[in-house]
Structure formats: structure tokens, C-alpha cells
Structure 1
Amino acid sequence: MKFAHTVKQKTKIAALLFGVMACTILIRFLEDKSIKSMNNAFISLYNDRLIPATDLFYLAENLYAKRYILEAFIEHQPKKESEHELLQRLVKHDANINSLLQKYEKTFLTQQEKTYLAELKAKLKENKTIEDRIIAAETTQANGATKSLFETTGLDSFNSINSKLAELTQLQTKVGEELMKDSKYLVSGSKLYSGIQFALAIVIGILIVSIIFASNVVKTTNQKFNLN
């Protein structure tokens, strides 16, 4: 009976140890998954938020440069540069803007960002048409008429593009904050897993002590039985 009781106790302890081992493996798997997700979140924060936000800033710089070039061309009488030279300078900035847009499109975009981007591209295309009208008008109309076109239609187009860029930048910040929240959640999950692992380590220690204590009891009982 004593032997059967001992075997039963050891079986219980073995089952508990197996359960602890299974929990440890599961927690390790979840922790690795959490670390991987955290790493992906930080990579996305850099590649899909920080870099694109910088690109939007450079896009705005090119837009302001185009506006300054066109304004200077209209104001200077007589002209310091030909229409061909003006177009070459504008084309250079257009190429920079298109390159930045293509780079931006390759990043991860939310549905709202895709909508804003499509609207921005449409406004840039519209602005290019307005620029062509202003340049063409400068060669056929009086300077006052061209300046008026630049300061009304041209300015409205510029402000519209600038407004859309601001919306995209704000959206970048908003999505970035959401990624940071996700990262904080993952960090708290990792802390929880570490706490559970620590608790399991204590349980394993207690079980080991119990096994040693039970073995000593059995050994002492057997010695007394043999003496009798």
C-alpha cells in the first residue's frame, strides 16, 4: 500500500512537472512572437512613418521652390531667364516630387492615406496645368494679368496642395502614435510572460524540494521497516 501511495504521489508530481514544462514552452513561444511583433512595429515606425514624413517635408520644399521660381519669373522685368530655362528648373523640381511620391507609394499606407495621396496627385496634376497657363500667359498678356492669375488661381492651387500635405503629415503622426501604443501593449505582454516564467520557476523549485523530501521520507520508512 505504501509503495502504491508513493507511486501515486510521484505520478502527480511528474504530471505537474509536465504541465509546468508545457506552460514554459508555450510562454516561450508567445514571448518570441511578441518580440517579433514588437520588432516589426519599430521597423514599420521607421520605414512607414518617420521616413515618409521626411519625404513629405522635402516634397513641400520642392513645391515652395517651384512657387518662388515662378513668382520671380513673373516679377522680373526684363526677364533674367528665358522660358526654356524656367521650364528646365521647374521640370527638375517636378522630377523630385514624382520621385518622392513613388517612394511614398511603396510604404505601408492605410486606406485613408491612399485616399489622401490620390487627392494630392490630382491636385499636383491640376497645379501643373495652372503653371503652364501662367507661363503661356506671360508671353502673350500684360504682366498685370499674369500676376493676377498667379495670385488667384495659382495661389488657390498651391494652398490646396499644401493643405493636403498637412493632412497627410497629421495622419502620419496619428498612425505613428497607434504603432507606439501597440508597442507599449507588446512590452507589457512581455513583462507578463516574464512574470509567469518567474512564478513557474518557483513552482519547479517547490516541486523539486517536495520530490527530495518525499524520497527521504520513503527512505527513512524503509530503513525502519528493515530494522523491525
Structure 2
Amino acid sequence: MNKKKYQNRKVKVAIILTFLIVVIFGKNFFERKNFNELGDSFISFYEDRLVVESYIFSISEKLFRIKLLINHCEFESDYSNTVEEISNYEERILRLVKEFEKTKLTEVEESFLTDFKRIIMDNLRIADYKLIYSDSEGINEKKVKEYNTYIERALRDLEKLSQIQIDEGKKLAMNSDKVVNRSKIWSQFELAALIILLGIIYFLIYSSRSKPNTL
């Protein structure tokens, strides 16, 4: 092998080594990025989906209790306590809604939550229990029906919000799967780069034993 060919090979080897080093560094960079994305997905799944689903369940349970109190008002002996109990449920619902609003909301999710909050604040406030029941007139069926209509509307909003948690959870799961697949591909690149690097090392060892005579 003459000197010129030997020098050309050294240049090619240097280029290949540089490329392999860039690939390995690139792999490490994207691996960190993938791990960060995966971590964010897990955090979002817990904080913005699982926790929110627990809020929805708790709110639904309180709404059903309000509905029971309204629909069975004729069996209540102390009306003032009933009003206080309903008001207490409403306040607890609004506190949960406030926590809900702190999470990462989609546009559709925010729309349903805003409508739900408006129903609780504007349509289900029972300032006076006599609006739905009195000893003299009994049950105000029209008013009870009106309250039930708003409660059903609020429950439909909660159903939509619950479905959004499922849909968004699926998206997060799919995104996590993509991140894992990207990591697998980069791992294969890294393995190939290491194999090529090992071949180059053997080549350099072999070629060093048969260097051309420079004289």
C-alpha cells in the first residue's frame, strides 16, 4: 500500500469515526429528550387525568345526594337542615371544580367545565327551601322538575368530562408508546455504530502492523 492510499484511508476512517461519535451523542441527546417526554406523560396522566377522574366521581356523588334531598323533600322533618346540607354539597362541589380548573384543560374540557360551574352557581342555588316544598302547599313539582332538569344537564357535562379523561389518557398512552419505539430505534443505531466502531479499531490495529515505508 503506498503512502497516498494509506493517507486516504486514514481520512476516511476519521470521517467515519466522526460520524459515529455524532450518532452516539445524538442518540444520548434524543434519549434524554424521550425520557423527559415519557416522564411528562406519566405526570400528566396522573395529575390531569386520574386525579381529575376522582374529582368527577366525587362531584357526581354529591350531585346525586342533592337530587335525593330535592326529590324526597316531603320526608324531611327539619327543612332548615336540609337547605344547609344542600348548600354544603354545593360548596364542596365548587371547591372541587376550583381544583379541577388548576389542571391542564383542553378547549372542549374547559367548555364543559365552565357550563357545569355555571349550572351549580346560577341554577342550583337553593336560597329558600320553600321554593320546592312547604307544609301548606306540599311539593312544588314545577320547581322540583326544574331543579332536576339542571341536575341532569350537570350530570351530562360530567359524563362528557369523564369521556375526555379516557380519550386524553389514550393519547398520552399512544404518545408514550411512540417515545418507547423511538428509543428502540436509536438503541439499534447505537448498537450498529458500536459494531462499526469495533471494526474500525480492528482495522487500525491491523493497518498499524503494515504501515508503508516512508523512506
TM-score by shorter chain over 0.5: yes
Alignment-derived partner of residue 215 in structure 1:
208
Alignment-derived partner of residue 75 in structure 1:
74
Q: Distance in 1 between matches of 2:93 and 2:32?
A: 41
Larger displacement relative to structure 2 (2-11 or 187-196)? 2-11
**Matching residue's letter, 2:74:** E
Q: Distance in 1 between matches of 2:130 and 2:58?
A: 24
Contact 2:62 2:93 (8 Å CA) reproduced: yes
Q: What is the SS of the residue equivalent to 2:77?
A: coil
The equivalent position to 1:142 in structure 2, one of 133, 137, 140, is 137
Matches within 5 A, 1:186-205: 186-205=179-198
Alignment-derived partner of residue 15 in structure 1:
15
Alignment-derived partner of residue 34 in structure 1:
34
1:105 equivalenced with 2:86 (yes/no) = no
Question: What displacement does 1:217 show?
Answer: 2.1
Q: Distance in 2 between matches of 1:128 and 1:42?
A: 36
Q: Distance in 1 between matches of 2:63 and 2:206?
A: 80
Q: Distance in 2 between matches of 1:137 and 1:164?
A: 24
Alignment-derived partner of residue 6 in structure 2:
6
Q: Which consecutive aligned stretches of 4+ in structure 1 deviate over 4 angstroms post-superposition?
A: none
Q: Distance in 1 between matches of 2:10 and 2:63?
A: 78
Q: Gaps spanning 5+ residues in structure 2: where?
A: none
Q: Distance in 2 between matches of 1:157 and 1:141?
A: 26
Question: What displacement does 1:20 show?
Answer: 0.7
**Matching residue's letter, 2:82:** L
Q: Gaps spanning 5+ residues in structure 1: where?
A: none
Q: Distance in 1 between matches of 2:47 and 2:26?
A: 31
Question: What displacement does 1:137 show?
Answer: 4.4
Bigger helix fraction:
1
RMSD (Å), alpha carbons = 2.1
Alignment-derived partner of residue 53 in structure 1:
53
Larger displacement relative to structure 2 (180-189 or 2-11)? 2-11
Identity among equivalent pairs (%): 22
Q: Distance in 1 between matches of 2:150 and 2:165?
A: 23
Q: 1:27 to 1:137 in 2, by over 3 A?
A: closer
Q: Distance in 2 between matches of 1:195 and 1:173?
A: 33
CA deviation vs aligned residue, 1:105-155 (integer Å, no higher than 9, x gap): 0000011111111111122224324x34653342375114x24531x2122
Question: What displacement does 1:187 show?
Answer: 0.8
Question: What displacement does 1:90 show?
Answer: 1.7
